Amino acid sequence: MMAVAQPKIEKETDDCSLLPLVHDIIKCMDKDSQDVHQELAKLKTKIQEAREQISNMPGIESSPQEQQQQLATLREQVSTKNQLLQKYKGLCMFDVPKAS
């Protein structure tokens, strides 16, 4: 499972790397190829797409530490409310006298 997950994570991180595109541009410049402009456009597009992706990603408005604090608070809230409900539902305040 980990072996399958790891390549996927590596692929995801490689997808957001800009170095391959920069490398392609440098190669084209060395060869004096006409594809330089095309590669430059690709780099520009990739940077723009990265910006849009970052804007749409959920949960990154706070730092990881702040997010963990919020998560702990929410878990505590759920636990407290569950306990409260269990307490009230299981509470019997009246002793019903036996019918004589």
Tokens for 24, please give them.
């392609």
When asked if residue 24 is in the footprint of other proteins (CB under 8 A), the reply is no
Pair 6, 17: CB distance under 8 Å: no
Q: Hey, what are 10's tokens?
A: 């590596």
> Quick check: 29 and 40 in contact, CB under 8 A?
no
* Distance, CA of 100 to CA of 97 (rounded, Å): 9
Which of residues 7, 59, 90, 97 is near other proteins by CB under 8 A? Answer: 59
**Quick check: 42 binds other proteins (CB under 8 A)?**
no
Kindly state the smallest distance separating residue 100's Cβ from other proteins, in Å.
19
Interface with other proteins (CB under 8 A): 9, 12-14, 16-19, 22, 25-26, 29, 40, 43, 47, 50-51, 54-55, 57-68, 70-71, 74-75, 77-78, 81-82, 84-85, 88-89
